[in-house]
Structure 1
Amino acid sequence: MDLSLENNDFLNGFDHLGNHKLSKNSIDIFSLKINANEFNYSTLQDSLIDPLINYSLSRKVRAEYQGKPAALSRKAREKFLDYIRNKGELGELMLYCFLESHLKAPKILSKLELKTSTSHYVNGADGVHFVRLPDGDFQIIFGESKTEIELTTALSHAFKSIYEFKNEINSAGSKKSGLPYEKGLISDHLEKETFSDEEKEFIKNIIYPKRENSFEVDDAFGIFIAYEITIDDNDKRLSNSEFRKKLQFQIKEEISNRLQHIEKKIDEYKLFGHKFYIYIVPFTELTKRRSEIQKEITR
């Protein structure tokens, strides 16, 4: 059974600069479209408005607001704004968009629907998706996003968070999280999504595989990294075509230089059994841009 994907146009705002294969893992490099020697952030903002609704609200809530697009949009923006004030950030929304649009991995449910109060949100993965592999087996993909100035630091923190999540290592007083807890959470809250009985049974079979299933299921991880890139003022004086070529080469070099670091972290945390889908996007003035985009899409 194939549940429908919800976002198809998100990638239009990016150039795909390449893919690296590390063992069975995949690292995809994306750059925002460039206009007049600057990243086109307005296109990114526009491309996030519709996915924001699907990310923030369950299928069940969206069905209740059918025919009321303005009210639906307002409810989604309010929920996302409330969320980022407490725990979340732009990276989680972008991870959702990449998993849906690039990996073709539908979300299982909206984590924002599981908040227990306005000040406490469910801990754990930044998103939960699934993907069907060419051989007919499945992966449940748990998300982790980091938006940090330095690329190496962001990667280190992402793999540390995944290690702690997998091994249920929590800071004092935090709600228990980890793979078993997360799967139980999904199973308990499927009613929040408007899945048919057949779809619910299908998803439960992915979460808790049965002996008679004709497929295998493995846990995988999706990682989104946004980091800050520095662009020399002299480069901004280049022609548009020269600037694009030089900046894209710079981005690819910066990420290629971190491939060994990614392998090191997978080995350090003994995560070799999992597949990783890693998406990396550079931003200029990361903190400022992140704040501006979050403000714009929740207006």
Structure 2
Amino acid sequence: MAVQVDEFRPGEHFGKLLGPRNVDARIKKCSVHEEGLPSVSAHFLYPAFKKGKPSVPELVKMLMREITGFCATKQQRRKAKQEDAESAYDSRAVEDLADWAKDLFIKTKESSKRSGEGGELLLYVFIEHYLKAPLVLSKMRLKTSPSMPVYGADGVHAMWDEKGKRLTMFFGESKLHKTFAGAMADAAESIGWLANNTDARMDNELQLTTGHIDLDGFPPALEEYLLRYLHPYDTEEGNRRSDRFAILIGYDYNVYERLVTSSPDDAEEEFIELYRKSLSQKLRTAQTHLQEHGVSLASVDLFFLPLPGVQEFRDAFNRELHG
């Protein structure tokens, strides 16, 4: 069926599932060129600076606009837009869908460390924006109660590998901790269970994705073919599927405190210099934890996000979400 698949142009269909967003205005990337670093797909991110300070409040506001896409299916969003197109002035269907999506998030008290859903939303944005892999399974919409946590991968994304002519799956894991090492250790353990199919965890993820895959607008024959990649035992396509693990590590970074006395014009450059110096050790820490759990660096996409305070980010996210 390879020739027929090419005729369907699966890469174009996956591309249509990706929407425009303003990530580059809120998140910046730091490049690193140092010999001897572990070879890995890594994105060294940080909140954009504004008047000499990291613009975390603006980042949180940007995330509010991503909630509907994170929770609702493409079909739900498309139908809401079509319904609103019939009205010259109102967009109530889209607004109602956004309210429904917000209600899926866990309501937590100030300073609660319980919810990591802000990190899950960040990771969704990063995978779509940087890896160009659209979300094909939202765990949020499968929740039966807002207080119910999400189990397994934080989100499942997919893209078509044009070079390898196969489906590539991305399983997300986000950890927001006070320390980088603590976040990385927890993430590596979770990804290790999935990568090694401990207690059939990968099988469960594939089965769940098969039942709820979100490929709106795909020709039925193409969708049927792509689903063959999700059968772990019964198909040749299942043997050829590429599995990757996208990991977001958010952590407290005290360098921000040192910038209080810096001029607004110099603060970001000073931050980048110190951030860049810290990355070699952090990459090696990541490699150590992943290897301890049987996960190869070659199979992961890392996103590092140092924050002035992880708990402050959680609190700001919760306030903006629930008022």
Q: Is 2:105 the partner of 1:80? A: yes
When structure 1 is superposed on structure 2, of 55-64 and 123-132 the one drifting more is 55-64
Task: Give deviations 1:57-90, integer Å, cap 9, x for gaps.
Answer: 1223323433222212211211234699985421
Which of 277, 290, 308 is matched with 1:284 structurally? 308
Aligned residue among 166, 170, 181 for 1:152: 181
**Do the aligned partners of 1:92 and 1:126 also contact (CA within 8 Å) in 2?**
yes
Distance 1:225 1:273, change over 3 A: closer
Identify which of 226, 247, 250 aligns with 2:271. Answer: 247
Q: Is the 8 A contact 1:92 1:145 kept in 2?
A: yes
1:207-257 Cα shifts (integer Å, max 9, x gaps): 238856599312110001110111365532222232211111222222222
1:187 matches 2:216: no
Shift of 1:195: 4.8
Match of 2:262 in 1: 238
Q: Match for residue 16 of structure 1?
A: 29
SS at 2:29 equivalent: strand
More helix by share: 2
Match of 2:319 in 1: 295
Structure 1: runs of 5+ lacking an equivalent: 170-175
1:104 partner SS:
coil
Equivalent residue in structure 1 for 2:230, among 207, 225, 228 = 207
Cα distance between partner residues in 1 of 2:290 and 2:217: 35
Q: How far apart, in 2, do the equivalents of 1:289 and 1:214 lie?
A: 39
Q: State the match for 1:110 in structure 2.
A: 138
Query: 2: distance between equivalents of 1:82 and 1:204?
Result: 35
SS for the counterpart of 2:104 is helix
Rate the CA distance shift 1:87–1:180 in 2: closer, same or farther, 3 A. Answer: farther
Normalised by the length of structure 2, the TM-score is 0.79
Aligned to 1:218: 242
User: Hey, what's the Cα distance between the residues in 2 that align with 1:207 and 1:73?
Assistant: 30
- Distance in 2 between residues matched to 1:94 and 1:211, nearest whole Å: 34
Gap regions ≥5 residues in structure 2: 1-9, 85-92
Partner of 2:128: 100
Change (3 A) 1:234 1:212: closer
Amino acid at match of 2:285: H
Shift of 1:16: 0.8
Cα distance between partner residues in 2 of 1:183 and 1:19: 35
Structure with the greater alpha carbon radius of gyration:
2
Alignment of 1:27-46 (within 5 A): 27-46=42-61
Divergent runs of 4+, >6 A: 83-86
How many residues align? The count is 291
SS at match of 1:141: strand
